[in-house]
Amino acid sequence: MYNANYQKIWKVVTLIPKGAVASYGQVADLAGLPGNARLVSRALRSAPAEAALPWHRVINVQRQISFPFASRGYIRQKELLVSEGVGFSGRSVNRQHLWQPDLSLLLWELDG
């Protein structure tokens, strides 16, 4: 079975809506794991394919894709984000696409 912390992270990632992005640190914080941005990266790499996580909605704190520029991973992630309506200025995601979960989500979906 998978690590309980990974499952918390995966739950948060599933809540990021289409057209929005969250940073690795934000996902860690919302999963109750502050200071564990790198754990989010490991959890996403370890997710089973059948989980169908929207991994592409997680970016770094500079609002950029973490894959090396122009790599296959970078291109794939950018294509997925653009297909959901996420806009870019250069390599950075436009600020209006940063996810701001509402209080009800924090209270009901992420509790426990």
pLDDT-derived band at 111, boundaries 50, 70, 90? low
> Mean pLDDT in the chain?
93
State yes or no: pLDDT of 22 exceeds 90: yes
Identify whether the C-beta of residue 98 lies closer than 8 Å to the C-beta of residue 20.
yes
| Cα angle, residue 11 at apex, residues 10 and 13 outer, rounded to 5° | 65
Which CATH number applies to 4-109?
1.10.10.10
pLDDT-derived band at 76, boundaries 50, 70, 90? very high
State yes or no: pLDDT of 104 exceeds 90: no
